[in-house]
Amino acid sequence: MAEHGMDQIDAYIRDLFVPADPVLDAALHDMKAGGLPTIQVPPELGRLLAILVRTSGAQRILEIGTLGGYSAIWMARALPPDGHLLSLELDPHHADVARGNLARAGLAERVEIRVGAALELLPTLLAEPPFDMVFIDADKPSYPQYLDWALRLVRPRGLIVGDNTLRGGAVLDPADDGARAIDRFNRAAAANPRLDAIILPNRSGNDGMLIAVVREAA
Ligand code: SAH
Ligand code: DHB
Ligand code: MG
C-alpha cells in the first residue's frame, strides 16, 4: 500500500472542504502582525464548529478564550442573523485584535467580547439567559472549572465543546500538569450522567475536540 504523509492527507481534506477565505486569511494576518500566538483552531475544526452551530440551531453561544477571533468568526457566521456570540478573553490586546477581525468580517453586531479572567466573568453570566452552546478554549488548567460553569450556563439539549482535549497525546502523560487538568476535564465529562460526550481526535496538532450534548432534565 502506498504511504501517504500526514501532511498530504491534511492538505487533501483542507483543500477539499476549507478553500481560501480572504476574511479568515486577513484575521490570521492581523493576529501575526499583532504578535498573537498561532494557537487558533485549525480550519477543519472551524468548519466543525460551524456545523455544530448549524445542526444544533444555536442562537446564543459562549466562547471561553477569544484569541484573535478566528474561531469566533467561524461560529458567528453560522448563527442566524439575530444570533449572539459572547466571547471571554483575558488579554486586552487579544480582544482588540479580535474586535478588528470581527468588524472586518461584518460580525461586530453579533459578537461581544468581554475582557477579564473567565473565572471572574462566568458567575456574572448566571443572570443572563442560558446558552445553547459553550466552547471552552482558554487556559488548560482551568478546564475542569470551565466544565462546571458550562454545565450551569448551558440549556438542556445544549452543547459543550472543548478544544485541545488530547494535547498532542500528552493527556496520557502522568508528568504533564496541564494535561492532567485536561484529563480531569475529560473524565468529568465522560462520567457526568447529564452528558453524552465523545472526543473526536483530529490530525492537526494530533489533538482532539470533546463534544458533549446536555440531556433533558430528568
Ligand atoms: N478560540 C481561539 C483560540 C483561543 S487561545 C481560536 O480558536 O481562534 C486561548 C485564549 O485564552 C488566549 O487568547 C488567552 O489569552 C486566553 N486566556 C487565557 N487564560 C484566560 C483566562 N483565565 N480567562 C480568559 N481567557 C483566557
Ligand atoms: C494552546 C492553547 C490552545 O487553545 C491551542 O489550541 C493550542 C495550544 C496553548 O496554550 O499552548
Ligand atoms: Mg485551542
Over residues 1-48, the pLDDT tens digits come to 444 555 888 889 999 999 999 999 999 999 999 999 999 999 999 999
CA-CA distances (angstroms) from residue 157 to 22, 57, 68, 218?
A: 34, 11, 29, 12
- Whether 85 shows a pLDDT value over 60: the answer reads yes
Q: Distance between CA 44 and CA 181 in Å, rounded? A: 25
Query: Nearest CA to 25 among 51, 46, 50?
Result: 46
For cell 478588528, name the residue: 100
Pocket test for ligand 2, best of 28, 31, 38, 39 (most atoms within 8 A of CB): 39
pLDDT in tens, 149-170: 999 999 999 999 999 999 988 9
pLDDT of residue 203: 85
Ligand nearest to the CA of 205: 2
71 lines ligand 1 (CB under 6 A): yes
More confident of the two residues 5 and 96: 96
Closest ligand 1 atom to 72 CA: 8
pTM for this one? 0.97
Give residue 182's pLDDT band: very low, low, confident or very high (50, 70, 90): very high
Q: Which helix (H) or strand (E) is 161 found in, with range? A: strand 154-162
Average pLDDT over residues 99-125: 98
163 lines ligand 2 (CB under 6 A): yes
132 lines ligand 2 (CB under 6 A): no
Average pLDDT over residues 100-116: 98
Pocket test for ligand 1, best of 77, 89, 99 (most atoms within 8 A of CB): 89
pLDDT of residue 7: 81
For residue 168 the three cell numbers come to 498532542
For cell 456545523, name the residue: 51
Residue nearest ligand 1's atom 3 by CA = 40
Q: Distance between CA 36 and CA 125 in Å, rounded? A: 27
137 lines ligand 2 (CB under 6 A): yes
- Whether 131 shows a pLDDT value over 80: the answer reads yes
Ligand nearest to the CA of 179: 2
